[in-house]
């Protein structure tokens, strides 16, 4: 698996060339074809300037590093076009994010049809959805699938799952309300039992309620973490 010319041109087109250092959408100093200090030398600082030829050399060195990182994380053999699409994606989001992404999990699981939709999860920077990232994900999906860019843009705009409301028993909000109600009921019950029989002299009702609410909070946090992990963000 190697980086193809089409993949390299995709990165150049999507990044664009800047001869003078600038801050990107997240505030990171950047130069050339999207080069940052995280990728290695040169260290990017305010006032740094390079020529286009220098930018080309930096890009090829950076892409080689990212290609090696992507190759190490893959458990399946891909075509050069598929591989190049993933290198472009990793170049944009970073190897750490790529390693944790559902894009990589889908590829390694052989679920290639899910890749465009998984790419669609990565269109935000600084908390905002950027049209440029939507176009880039579409171009990467097109390279991966062999579709035309317009077709791929339609794919990346599809939701990962068909939108549907949560049933009452799967909604964390509903379940949290139920658990809170149970906590209140448990507190009242404990208070009643203590008053009637003195059976719980050492356990205050508010302590029982606090334990139940804390358990509910831990469960909700776990469910949201699992959802975040499954969506790859």
* Mean pLDDT, all residues of the chain: 78
Q: How far apart are CA 13 and CA 16, in angstroms?
A: 5
**Catalytic pick from 6, 15, 140, 153?**
15
pLDDT at res. 163: 32
Going from N- to C-terminal start, the domains of the chain cover 5-156, 172-231
- 128 pairs with which residues across the strands? 125
Nearest to 20 by CA among 46, 57, 53: 46
60 has a pLDDT exceeding 50? yes
Tens digits of residue pLDDT in 206-226: 666 666 666 666 555 555 544
Dihedral pair phi/psi, residue 43, rounded to 5°: -70, 130
Per the annotation, the verdict on 15 as an active-site residue is yes
Q: Average the pLDDT over 33-54 and give the result.
A: 95
Q: Name the least confident of 145-149, 156-160, 195-199, 225-229.
A: 156-160
pTM of the model as a whole? 0.65
* 3-class secondary-structure state, position 157: coil
Q: Which CATH number is 5-156's, of 1.10.3980.10, 1.10.530.40, 1.10.1840.10, 3.40.50.720?
A: 1.10.530.40
181 has a pLDDT exceeding 90? no
Residues near 201 by beta carbon (within 8 Å), at least 6 away in sequence = 194
Task: Give residue 25's pLDDT band: very low, low, confident or very high (50, 70, 90).
Answer: confident
């Amino acid at each position: 698996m190697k980086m193809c010319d089409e993949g390299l041109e995709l990165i150049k087109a999507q990044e664009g060339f800047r001869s003078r250092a600038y801050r990107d959408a997240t505030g990171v100093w950047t130069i050339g074809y999207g080069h940052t200090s995280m990728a290695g030398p040169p260290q990017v600082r305010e006032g740094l300037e390079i020529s286009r030829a220098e930018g080309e050399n930096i890009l090829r060195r950076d892409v080689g590093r990212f290609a090696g990182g992507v190759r190490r994380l893959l458990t399946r053999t891909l075509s050069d076009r598929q591989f190049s699409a993933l290198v472009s994606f990793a170049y944009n989001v970073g190897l750490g994010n790529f390693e944790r992404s559902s894009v990589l999990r889908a590829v390694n699981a052989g679920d290639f049809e899910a890749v465009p939709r998984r790419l669609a999860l990565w269109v935000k920077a600084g908390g905002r959805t950027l049209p440029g990232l939507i176009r880039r994900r579409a171009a990467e999906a097109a390279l991966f699938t062999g579709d035309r860019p317009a077709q791929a843009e339609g794919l990346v705009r599809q939701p990962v799952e068909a939108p549907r409301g949560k049933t009452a028993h799967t909604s964390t909000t509903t379940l949290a309300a139920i658990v809170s109600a149970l906590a209140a009921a448990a507190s009242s019950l404990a208070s009643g039992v203590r008053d009637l029989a003195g059976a719980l002299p050492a356990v205050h009702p508010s302590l029982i309620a606090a334990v139940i609410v804390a358990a509910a909070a831990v469960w909700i946090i776990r469910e949201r973490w699992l959802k975040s992990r499954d969506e790859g963000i």
